[in-house]
């Protein structure tokens, strides 16, 4: 907690930024950011510990899952396999070795693919990020817009229609929706492309970010781009429907709450144009709770990808996690855990920073 | 300029909350509007600015000079709001936008109504803060409402109201949410501004003590109608209406 300074030297962020040399004179936003990043780093270490412990608590022997019947009968082969994968050392030592590896960017070797887990993740993580990112983007844009419309047209037809739609989105199970969408849009109506990330006849765009849409656009390969967008659309919308419903409901209630606040009436009394009232006076304060929910929703979206990826044959982390978990491929499982935990951390960090950007009371206190 | 309200009727959800209000505000005069809560004081103030709750039905006339505010289109009314007629609300802790700097809140409507550029608006904003006696005006522009005390915030809210040189100022219980010790300062400020800027002020309050301190004329409302209007001394010392007398008798420590 910062000590309240006399007003003359100023809590004014601009004044502080002008004098970078003074001790402790960093801007409140910068101090706020540093604090959040440090907390995030501590949490990251916690995540490695939790993924490691949980993975090793799993009842099941990776040896049995990975070696064939005959090999299992030979104690020498089993012992050799355990040594190879570091399973003969005591757990704390295994953890420290694991931690050292993580810091060096080495997550071990997958027992299934016999490739470094890092390489496997480098292939699958961008696919999932593209899917989940598209879904959350659509959710935020559509959900917030729907929520605002529902609040401004409270108790009228559009509000009722949006209520039914959002309840549908929230209550329909993702896997059912995914199957139905696939069956109807691809099989019956044939308006959506089939599974995978692009048409089978196309070569993936040159790897820059791993997001096919972005890479294709960067390379100017517009046929690949449109194919990638087409393939992304259905699974992303299926994933987004739940979060759209959620964000519509939350935005509606947040906007209604802000609409009743004094500062909105005061803003109207100033004769500001309705557009300014809506965006600056209503939406900005209403976005604070909406951002929290959007951050949490991204988490549920990530878990939703496992099912959606399976149904749309999307080669992402969800599929990789499923495969590794069923074969007790411990390094791979830990790798996935780390990635998912890391994504949560980043999302939380973004949410925290957005709080600070939107609400000065957060960064100045 | 004169703001005249005549036969103002407002109904909300079928219930008539104002039943024919008549009031006249004149430049350089503070007109006090008293009455118990629910008597329609605040509704009268909001009706002038066209800020009544959704679904309210209004009839009567509110004339500013020659123009009838009730006959205006929303666009025309928006040009009057914050421009010629401004308002100060009860609680400065909630009526200022918590996420915008004081400078932004002082300049945004100036730039809109008066078409000032950023530099001009900033300079005028600092002048306004000095006028309402906020220390360190330039520096205060970059700060946020929560960094000021309640009395300071209300001074800032008054500065915001004054930004576009209004002719009429509606102050809705401007001291009710404040400590007794800072109330007097705010009232003195309002009185001084009224005299210096030739403002027509409508001071809505349930506090007859506040009223007797600054008002030139006093109107007393009950159940959506004005029951008595007159010069302060007359209404407060020699009330003609029994309801005014009852209000005065209810003041602690005062017997007439």
Coil, helix or strand at residue A363: helix
Positive or negative: CA dihedral A157, A158, A159, A164: positive
Q: Does A275 touch chain B (CB under 8 A)?
A: no
Q: Which of A267-281, A314-328, B97-111 shows the lowest mean pLDDT across its residues?
A: A314-328
Give the pLDDT of residue A102. 86
Domain contains B193 = yes
Residues 108-137 of B with CB under 8 A from A: 108-109, 112-113, 136
Q: Which residue of B has its CA nearest to A363?
A: B99
Quick one: tokens of B48? 């002038």
Quick one: tokens of B62? 């509110």
Give the pLDDT of residue A26. 65
Q: Alpha-carbon Rg of chain B, whole angstroms?
A: 18
CATH code: domain of residue B53 = 3.40.50.300
Q: Alpha-carbon Rg of chain A, whole angstroms?
A: 25
The order of strands in the sheet holding B15-25 is B15-25, B3-12, B56-64, B67-68
Q: Does A207 touch chain B (CB under 8 A)?
A: no
Q: What is the pLDDT of residues A228-246, one digit of tens each?
A: 999 999 999 999 999 999 9
If phi over 0 gives left and psi between -120 and 50 gives alpha, with beta otherwise, what is residue A272?
Answer: beta
Residues 283-322 of A with CB under 8 A from B: 284-285
State the average pLDDT over residues B53-58: 88
Give the pLDDT of residue A3. 43
Specify the pTM.
Answer: 0.82
* Closest to B145 in 3D by CA, of A244, A266, A335: A266
Q: Which residue of A has its CA nearest to B79?
A: A271
Give the pLDDT of residue A89. 82
User: Would the CB atoms of B112 and A280 count as touching at under 8 Å?
Assistant: no
B133, B155 contact by CB (below 8 A): yes
Spatial separation of the C-alpha atoms in residues B127 and B159, rounded to whole Å: 9
CATH superfamily, region A125-326: MetI-like (1.10.3720.10)
User: Would the CB atoms of B89 and A273 count as touching at under 8 Å?
Assistant: no
DSSP letters spanning chain B = --EEEEEEEEEETTEEEEEEEEEEE-TT-EEEEE--TTSSHHHHHHHHHT-PPTTEEEEEEEEETTEEGGGS-HHHHHHHBTTTEEEE-S-HHHHS-TTS-HHHHHHHHHHHHT---HHHHHHHHHHHHHHTT-SSHHHHTTS-GGGS-HHHHHHHHHHHHHTT--SEEEEESTTTTS-HHHHHHHHHHHHHHHHHHT-EEEEE-S-HHHHHHH-SEEEEEETTEEEEEEEHHHHHHS-SSHHHHHHHHTSTT---
**Which chain A residues are Cβ-neighbours of B139 within 8 angstroms?**
7, 10, 12, 15
Quick one: tokens of B93? 């802790």
User: Would the CB atoms of A281 and B112 count as touching at under 8 Å?
Assistant: no
Please check the confidence at residue A22 and state whether its pLDDT lies above 50: no
Q: How many residues does chain A have?
A: 365
Spatial separation of the C-alpha atoms in residues B218 and B34, rounded to whole Å: 7
Parent domain of B75: 3-94+165-249
- Ranges of each domain in chain A: 125-326
User: Would the CB atoms of B96 and A281 count as touching at under 8 Å?
Assistant: no
Spatial separation of the C-alpha atoms in residues A341 and A44, rounded to whole Å: 8
Q: How confident is the model at residue A15 (pLDDT cuts 50, 70, 90)?
A: very low
Q: Does A357 touch chain B (CB under 8 A)?
A: no
Mutation target among B64, B98, B110 for the A interface, most CBs of A within 10 A? B98
Please check the confidence at residue A282 and state whether its pLDDT lies above 90: yes
Domain contains B84 = yes
Place of tokens 């029951």: B227
User: Would the CB atoms of A361 and B99 count as touching at under 8 Å?
Assistant: yes
Q: Does A266 touch chain B (CB under 8 A)?
A: yes
Spatial separation of the C-alpha atoms in residues A169 and A243, rounded to whole Å: 8
How close is the nearest chain B Cα to the Cα of A176, in Å? Answer: 42
Q: Does A260 touch chain B (CB under 8 A)?
A: no
Please check the confidence at residue A183 and state whether its pLDDT lies above 90: no
Spatial separation of the C-alpha atoms in residues B15 and A144, rounded to whole Å: 35
Cα dist. B154→A167, B93, B161 in Å? Answer: 44, 8, 10
User: Would the CB atoms of B87 and A281 count as touching at under 8 Å?
Assistant: no
Domain contains B134 = no
Positive or negative: CA dihedral A263, A266, A272, A273: positive
B64, B86 contact by CB (below 8 A): no
Q: Which residue of B has its CA nearest to A285?
A: B99
* Closest to A45 in 3D by CA, of A363, A362, A345: A345
Spatial separation of the C-alpha atoms in residues B151 and A156, rounded to whole Å: 41
Q: What is the dihedral of CA A271, A274, A278, A279, to 10 degrees?
A: -90
% of chain A exceeding 70 in pLDDT: 92
Domain contains B105 = no
**Which chain B residues are Cβ-neighbours of A284 within 8 angstroms?**
99
Using CB atoms within 10 A of its CB, is residue A164 exposed (0-12), middle (13-18) or buried (19+)? exposed
Spatial separation of the C-alpha atoms in residues B63 and B71, rounded to whole Å: 9
User: Would the CB atoms of A265 and B95 count as touching at under 8 Å?
Assistant: yes
**Which chain A residues are Cβ-neighbours of B42 within 8 angstroms?**
none
Give the pLDDT of residue B253. 62
A321, A252 contact by CB (below 8 A): no
**What is the CB-side half-sphere exposure of residue B200 using CA atoms within 13 A?**
15
Quick one: tokens of A354? 């957005």
Across the interface, of A266, A280, A360, the residue whose CB is closest to B89 is A266
How close is the nearest chain A Cα to the Cα of B54, in Å? Answer: 11
DSSP A281: I
Please check the confidence at residue A286 and state whether its pLDDT lies above 90: yes
Q: Does B240 touch chain A (CB under 8 A)?
A: no
User: Would the CB atoms of A262 and B91 count as touching at under 8 Å?
Assistant: yes
Mutation target among B91, B97, B106 for the A interface, most CBs of A within 10 A? B97
* Closest to B206 in 3D by CA, of B167, B143, B170, B248: B248
Q: Does B204 touch chain A (CB under 8 A)?
A: no
Give the pLDDT of residue A244. 95
B81, A276 contact by CB (below 8 A): no
Give the pLDDT of residue A13. 43
Domain total in chain B: 1
How close is the nearest chain A Cα to the Cα of B250, in Å? Answer: 30
Q: Does B167 touch chain A (CB under 8 A)?
A: no
Domain contains B131 = no
Cα dist. A193→A116, A189, A198, A230, B67 in Å? Answer: 32, 11, 9, 7, 64
Output the average pLDDT for chain A. 85
Q: How confident is the model at residue A2 (pLDDT cuts 50, 70, 90)?
A: very low
Q: What is the pLDDT of residues A152-178, one digit of tens each?
A: 999 899 999 999 999 999 999 888 888
State the average pLDDT over residues A292-299: 89
* Closest to A78 in 3D by CA, of A91, A90, A64: A64
């Amino acid at each position: 907690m910062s000590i309240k300074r006399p007003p003359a030297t100023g809590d004014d962020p601009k004044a502080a930024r002008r004098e970078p040399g003074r001790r402790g004179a960093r801007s409140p936003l910068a101090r706020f950011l540093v604090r959040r990043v440090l907390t995030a780093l501590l949490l990251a270490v916690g995540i490695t510990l939790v993924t490691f412990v949980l993975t090793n608590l799993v009842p099941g022997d990776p040896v049995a899952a990975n070696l064939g019947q005959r090999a299992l009968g030979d104690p020498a082969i089993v012992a050799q396999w355990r040594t190879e994968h570091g399973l003969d050392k005591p757990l704390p030592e295994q953890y420290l070795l694991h931690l050292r590896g993580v810091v060096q960017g080495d997550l071990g070797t997958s027992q299934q693919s016999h490739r470094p887990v890092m390489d496997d993740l480098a292939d699958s993580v961008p696919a999932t990020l593209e899917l989940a990112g598209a879904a959350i983007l659509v959710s935020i844009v559509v959900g917030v817009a729907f929520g605002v419309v529902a609040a401004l047209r409270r108790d009228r037809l559009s509000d009722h229609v949006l209520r039914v739609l959002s309840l549908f989105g929230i209550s329909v199970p993702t896997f059912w929706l995914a199957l139905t969408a696939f069956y109807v849009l691809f099989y019956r109506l044939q308006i959506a492309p089939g599974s995978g990330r692009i048409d089978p006849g196309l070569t993936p765009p040159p790897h820059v970010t791993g997001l096919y849409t972005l890479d294709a656009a960067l390379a100017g390969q517009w046929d690949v781009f449109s194919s990638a967008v087409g393939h992304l659309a259905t699974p992303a919308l299926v994933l987004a429907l739940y979060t759209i419903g959620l964000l519509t409901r939350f935005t509606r209630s947040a906007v209604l709450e802000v609409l009743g606040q004094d500062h909105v009436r005061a803003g109207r009394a100033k004769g500001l144009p309705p557009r300014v009232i809506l965006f600056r006076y209503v939406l900005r304060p209403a976005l604070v709770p909406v951002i929290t929910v959007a951050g949490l929703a991204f988490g549920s979206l990530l878990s939703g990808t496992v099912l959606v990826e399976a149904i749309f044959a999307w080669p992402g982390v969800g599929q990789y996690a499923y495969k590794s978990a069923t074969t007790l491929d411990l390094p791979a499982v830990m790798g996935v855990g780390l990635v998912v935990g890391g994504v949560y951390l980043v999302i939380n960090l973004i949410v925290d920073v957005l709080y600070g950007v939107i609400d000065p009371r957060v960064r100045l206190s | 300029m004169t703001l005249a309200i005549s036969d103002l009727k407002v109904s909300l959800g079928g219930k008539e909350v104002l039943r024919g209000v008549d009031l006249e505000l004149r430049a350089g005069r503070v007109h006090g509007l008293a009455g118990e809560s629910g008597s329609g004081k605040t509704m009268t103030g909001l009706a002038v600015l066209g800020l009544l709750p959704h679904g309210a039905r209004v009839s009567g006339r509110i004339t500013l000079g020659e123009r009838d505010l009730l006959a205006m289109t929303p666009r025309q009314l928006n040009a009057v709001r914050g421009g010629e007629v401004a308002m100060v609300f009860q609680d400065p802790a909630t009526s200022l936008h918590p996420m915008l700097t004081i400078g932004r809140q002082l300049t945004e409507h100036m730039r809109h109504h008066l078409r000032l550029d950023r530099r001009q608006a900033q300079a005028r904003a600092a002048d306004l803060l000095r006028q309402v006696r906020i220390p360190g005006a330039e520096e205060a522009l970059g700060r946020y409402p929560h960094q000021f005390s309640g009395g300071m915030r209300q001074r800032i809210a008054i500065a915001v109201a004054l930004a576009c040189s209004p002719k009429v100022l509606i102050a809705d219980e401007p001291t009710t949410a404040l400590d007794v010790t800072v109330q007097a300062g705010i009232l003195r400020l309002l009185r001084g501004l009224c005299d210096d800027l030739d403002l027509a002020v409508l001071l809505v309050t349930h506090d007859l003590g506040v009223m007797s301190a600054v008002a030139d004329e006093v109107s007393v409302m009950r159940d959506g109608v004005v029951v008595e209007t007159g010069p302060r001394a007359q209404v407060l010392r020699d009330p003609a209406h029994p309801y005014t007398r009852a209000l005065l008798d209810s003041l602690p420590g005062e017997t007439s």
